[in-house]
Structure formats: structure tokens, C-alpha cells
Amino acid sequence: MSDDRRRSPLSDILAACLIIWPPLWVLDPFHLIQSRLTIEQFAVLELGLCLVWAAVTRLPAAHMGIVACAAAAAAAILCGWLFIRFPALTLSMYDGGNETLVLSLLLMLACFIAGWFLAGRALTGLVALFLVYGLLTLHFPSALFALGGGARTFLTYMTFGSDAIIGQTLIVVTVTVSCFVLFGRAFLIADGAGAINNVALLLGGRNPVAPVKTAVLASGMFGTVSGNATSNVLTVGSVTIPLMMRYGVRPATAGGIEAVASTGGQLMPPMMGTAAFMMAELTGISYAEIALAALIPALLFYFVLLVEAHRIGKAVATTAPNDMPAIDRKAAFVSLGLFALVLLAVSVLLFWYAYSPEWTAVLGVLLCAAVTAPRLWTSLSWAALRREIGDMAEILVPLVVTASIVGVMLAVINTTGLGVMLAFLLEQIGGKGLFLSLLVAAAASYLLGLSLSTAAVYVISATLVAPGLVALGVPVLAAHLFVLYMAMLSMISPPVAFACLATCGLTGASFSATCREALRFSVLIFWIPFIFIYNPGLLLIGSSWQIVVALATAAAAAVTASAALAKNRAMLTEGLAYALLSVLLVWPALPDITRISLALLVALWFSPIARGFRDRGLSRKAS
């Protein structure tokens, strides 16, 4: 373990507490906890555990000893005081008392320090700039500044407001996201990832593009239970990347392909990424409705990648396809079937019976434990359990700290009216055309993503950009999924590109080369959010006929767009024809019957029978 990630008995105890606390709150036997504590007190306690864990494990080795102990003790005392006094403090938040002000400043300082180490310097610096902007508006007030009372009230609100540090963002992460992190790790411990990889290897086939398709299929299937791109890369990529490299795929190309495929897991139901849970809170739309709306775009994402895998795989794979690992087909599908039943049960509870997402996740953990209890009883050692607990803390703590400092930014945006001003500006741009506004919104979300994580980018874009799109007539769900999709692509966009960075450790390739290959492989998926804005049937908005037309034409457009990219300069005319056909297929102004007819023609043209006729014709010409 590196110096900045030390683990000790104390850190293990803290990790176990912060992992056990959320499911205890959700299950709450006999209603013993929620009848005595508010949900904000629960969130404060979870945040305190995370801050103490960060002080124990993240301070540089040279600062261990007195400094680390003092930081941990200070965080524990601060959050303990807030935990005990929170109900009284919220009642006196606007009284200008010294206690609320001092506690607010101390908690902000603790969260900013933890954010510097855990959430990234870029995000922490950006939030600090927002805080400075909010303070400046006190001295240069505008008509939109909504919070009176001066600097004391403003700074107190940064901690105690409903959209501040101890606000809805922190509550969503500590309650819902924590339970889904636990479910994802339980699925992994139960060897669900191994079952997915084995079936993906079988489905990929034994043709020259098999390893690339296997990477896409495995990442898509694992994305159903893990909405974390980095986790997907390290779990699935440990199998698919060596397989691609064994087939002659260059390390940078293999890493780029896996990074893109793993990134889509944040959009794949039923277990989407952190940003999706924040979307439910920000929009008031249920998570189940969001997940259903995201289903077709997620499937389209992986369909596009499979089409691109077929095109690119022929060029990058050089080794004969006789090196596939030997896998017992029956055992692989039986193993996957058990985990599929777990996912089916979770999905039924979430979508059919409308259980809360956190309840569903906790029940999913119990089902995973039941499926693999006999094996785990004999194979899971104490050392392995400690390692798993530590790994879960490594995932969860940065999310909680990020949520806390993002709360400061949301509080500034909402109290100063900055979001209203930017929404008005975007609406003015929209007067020149919706497409131009979408380009501006996409560029804003994408540029923010160049230095921030997906969840952070989404929260900023959802408060600054999405309202402007809604004002232009875009449905709320479509607008938020648009900015979420663009935020998601930050995982493969330099200079941060966390997914690409994770693959570099598995391939040994340079970061810049991996990012370049990832962008080359993902060029078509950047257009999917534009397509579902103009074709809302892809989000299950509209009649059954509209949904079928949108799905069929989008799939056909993916095939023709990939064919256009495959053409070289000698076949420029054919490539341009395919590109034009792609646009016509998704152009909403064309009659539905025309678009569906074009989609059927594309299906016939690219069918194996038609390809066989074309190949025989080319052979006769060559002879």
C-alpha cells in the first residue's frame, strides 16, 4: 500500500462503520434509528466518519503522528458536535449566532481540505471560486440575489441550507449511493464479474474482432450493477485488455476501447452512476422513471460501440483467432443465470413494486450473499474481508467528500440567482435555433468535464445549463439526461479522463495515446444525446409507434455512420452518401413512414445475404 493510502486497524474500523451505517439507516429494524434522528444527523455522522478516515489514511507520511491525530480528533469533535446539536442549530440558523457561524466555517474548512486530497484540486478550486463570487455579490448586489442578512447569514447557509453542505446532495450520496456501492462490491465479491466475463467471451465469438466485442459486451453487462467507470475498467479490463493485446491490439488502443466501454456503465440501468441519483433529487423525477428513460440510450451506446468494434477490430487485431480461453459454456451460463436472477429481482422491486432505490440495493446485497453463502463461508478469509472493506471505503469516501463541497457550489448558485441568469442567456441563444443552444450546452458540460468528475459536472450543468434547455421547450428529463450524457464523456476526455488513466495501469501505454484512441473509438457516441433530444421516443416519451421509429432509425443511423467512417478518400462519394443517409434517418422533420422505410432498406443492404451478393460481384470484377 502506498504511503498516502495507509490502512491500519483504526482505518478498518472506521471503514466498516461508514459502510454499515447506511444500510442500517435504510433497514432500521423496529424504526429505532429514524424515530430518534433526522436524516441530516445521519448524513453528518457519515460525513464525520469519512473525514476522520481521510485524516487517518490520506495525510502524507511525513505528517503522520501528531498532525494526523489532531486532524482526526478535530473532525470527530466537530461532526460529533454538529450531530448532537443539529436540530437546535437549524432553528437558529438565521439568528446570526456565533455557534452556527463558527461551526459552519469549521465544517467548510474541513470539507475543503478533504476535498483537496480526495475530490481533486480542480473541483475544490472551482468551488472556492464560487464561494468568493457569492461573497462578492453581497457587496455588489443584483436584483437576483435572494438571501438577505449579510455575510454571517450567507456563510451559515453554506453549511445548514437545504442545498448546502448538509443538504440534499450529501443525503443522496450517503443514503442511496452508499447502498449501491455496497451492492456493486457484493456482486463483485460473489464473482458476478467473472460470470459476466466468461459469457462475454463466449458471445464475442472466435472471429478477428472477438476480443474488441468481448470488451464491449462485458463492460455493458457489468455496467448493469456498477455505475463507476473506474471500477468497471479495473474489474472487466483486467480480463479484456490482456485478451485484446494477445490478439495483437496495441496497448493504447486496447486501453482506449475498454475506457469507452466502461464509461457507458454510468448510463446503464438498473444501477446507474452517482449522477443519476442526484438527478432524481434535483428534478423530482423518480429514479425508476429516470432509469427506464435511460435504457434505450444506454443500449444504443453499446450498439454503436459494437458496430464500431466490428469496423475497427478488423484493422487492429492481427493475431489468428485460435487463442480464446477454454470456457465451460454450460457452467458459464448457469453461473450468469444466478446473478441474472438477482438483477431481475432488484429490477422488479425497483420498477414494478416501486421500492426506494436504497431499499432495493440493500436487498440486492442480501440476495448476493444468499447466492454465494456456501462458497464465501469457506473461501473468504479475514484478510480478504479487510481488503474488501478498505476498497469500499476508497470508493465511498471521495464520493461523500465531493458531495459535501458540491453542496457549497449549489448553495451559491441558488442564493445568488446565477443559474437563473445563465438559463436566461441560454434561452436568448435559443432564439437563433435549438441546435445552437444544444451545442452551447454540450460545450459547457464537456469543458467542465475536462477537469471534474461526472457527478460534479452533472450537478453544475443541471443547475446552470439544463434550466435553459427546459425554457426552450425541451422536456425536463431529456434536458437533464443530455447534460448527464455529456458529463459522462468527461471520463474519456483529457486532461482528467479517469477511465483512460485507469487503463494505463493495465496496459503500460501512455496517457495521451490512450485518450487519443478512446476519442477515436467514441466519435459516434458524442451524437447520441443530440439524437434523443430531437427523437424523444428514445427516452420512452411518446406513443409506441414513435418509440419504435426512433429506435429503428437510430440503430440504422449508427450502422450507416460507421460505414461512412470506414470509407477512405478513394471512396469519398460513397462515404458522404452514408453520412447523408445517417442524418436523414434521425431527422425529425421527415415523415415517420419515410424514415422507417429507409431503416428497413439499411437493414437489407447490410444483411449477410446482401453482403454475400456484393462480395461475389466484386470477386467477378476482380477476376
Distances (CA, A) of 535 to 149, 197, 307: 47, 34, 21
Angle between helix 98-118 and 150-160 (nearest 10):
50
Q: What is the pLDDT of residue 585?
A: 93
- Predicted confidence at residue 528, as pLDDT, reads 92
Judged on CB neighbours under 10 Å (0-12, 13-18, 19+), 138 is middle
Task: Work out the pLDDT band at 142, boundaries 50, 70, 90.
Answer: low
Q: How far, in Å, CA of 427 to CA of 421, rounded?
A: 10
| Omega before 270 within 30 of 0, i.e. cis | yes
Tell me which residue has cell 485507469.
502
| 531, three cell numbers | 439524437
pLDDT at 595 over 90: yes
Residue 1 has pLDDT above 50, yes or no: no
**Mean pLDDT lowest for which of 147-151, 161-165, 305-309, 515-519?**
147-151
Confidence of residue 547 (pLDDT cuts 50, 70, 90): very high
Cell numbers placing 456: 460534479
Nearest of 326, 324, 307 to residue 261 by alpha carbon = 307
The rounded mean pLDDT for the chain is 82
562-580 pLDDT per residue, tens: 888 876 655 778 888 889 9
pLDDT for the residue numbered 535: 93
**Average confidence (pLDDT) over 407-411:** 89
Instruction: Output the pLDDT for position 572.
Output: 78
Average pLDDT in the 352-367 region? 78
Q: Is the pLDDT of residue 381 over 80?
A: no
The answer on pLDDT for 63 being more than 60 is: no
pLDDT at 185: 81
Check pLDDT > 80 for residue 128: yes
pLDDT at 485 over 80: yes
Using a pLDDT cut of 90, give the percent of the chain over it. 25
Residue-wise pLDDT for 227-259, tens only, equals 777 777 877 887 788 878 877 788 888 899 989
User: Which residues touch 69 (CB under 8 Å, ≥6 apart)?
Assistant: none
Inform me whether the pLDDT recorded for 152 exceeds 70.
yes
Q: What is the mean pLDDT of residues 540-549?
A: 92
Q: Which of 145 and 124 is assigned the larger pLDDT? A: 124
Average of pLDDT values for 87-116?
A: 87
Percent of the chain with pLDDT over 70: 82
| 362-376, 470-484, 507-521: which is most confident | 470-484
Burial of 566 (0-12, 13-18, 19+ CB in 10 A): middle
The answer to which of 38-47, 368-377, 504-513, 603-612 has the lowest mean pLDDT is 368-377
pLDDT at position 47: 96
Determine the pLDDT at residue 611. 66
Instruction: Note whether 270 and 222 are within 8 A (CB).
Output: no
Residue of higher predicted confidence among 368 and 331: 368
pLDDT surpasses 50 at 221: yes
d(CA 602, CA 555): 10
Name which of 318-322, 361-365, 593-597, 614-618 the model is least confident about.
Answer: 318-322
Q: Pick the residue with more confidence: 406 or 141?
A: 406
**Nearby residues of 578 by Cβ (< 8 Å), 6 or more positions away:** 560, 561, 563, 564, 567
Cα dist. 219→227, 236, 255, 272 in Å? 11, 6, 13, 13
Taking residues 50-72, what's their average pLDDT? 76
- 456 vs 407, more confident: 407
The answer to whether 217 and 399 are in contact (CB under 8 A) is no
Quote the pLDDT of residue 342: 72
